Amino acid sequence: MVGFVEDKRGAVAIQVALFIPILIIILLGAYELWKVLYMQQVVNDAAYQGARLMTMQPLGKDREGNSTEIIAEQMIRRYISQAALADPALRENPGDPRLKVMFQSEHGPFCGSHILVHVEMPWTVGREWGVSANSSWLPFMGFTWMMHGRAEGWILCERAIDVGG
């Protein structure tokens, strides 16, 4: 019996077998956290780019006669849908209603007005793994929340038409 207790063959294999699942959970969590942070940065940057467009060209129109708000919303949706980790459904349909783009202005698109751009997008952790809410043995998988991006600025007054000249 004493010989059996002193025999250490296989101890490393048992330690590895116990450690591997913990290591996999840590790696999955780090990967999912990285994806969330990346997409949050994409949403923030899209809001910034939309606010920048709105403040630089507040009275601009494209060839079809679309206002700057429509142009900015299309740009924001395209920017987010083309991100490397964007939801495939959003890539196929950039006009997806789950992605919300809102503009707010004090006095409309006029010289010196304050513009606020707010972007919301739902994100589900582990969606590409086929994980739904309440079906995962990992506590962070299947969790869905709204990502928010917000940017603001003031419309520039550089053109003669803006300052009444």
| 126 Rama sector, left if φ>0, alpha if ψ -120 to 50, beta otherwise | left
Task: Inform me whether the pLDDT recorded for 165 exceeds 90.
Answer: no
Residue 16 lies in a domain: yes
Domain that holds residue 98: 2-154
Contact 91, 73 (CB under 8 A): no
Instruction: Summarize pLDDT for 38-78 with one digit per residue, the tens.
Output: 999 999 999 999 999 888 876 666 667 778 888 899 999 99
108: left (phi over 0), alpha (psi -120 to 50) or beta: left
* pLDDT tens digits, one per residue of 111-164: 788 899 999 999 888 777 766 655 556 666 777 888 999 999 988 876 555 444
Q: Is residue 163 assigned to a domain?
A: no
Q: Is the dihedral of CA 63, 66, 70, 72 positive or negative?
A: positive
Within a domain: residue 47? yes
Number of domains the chain contains: 1
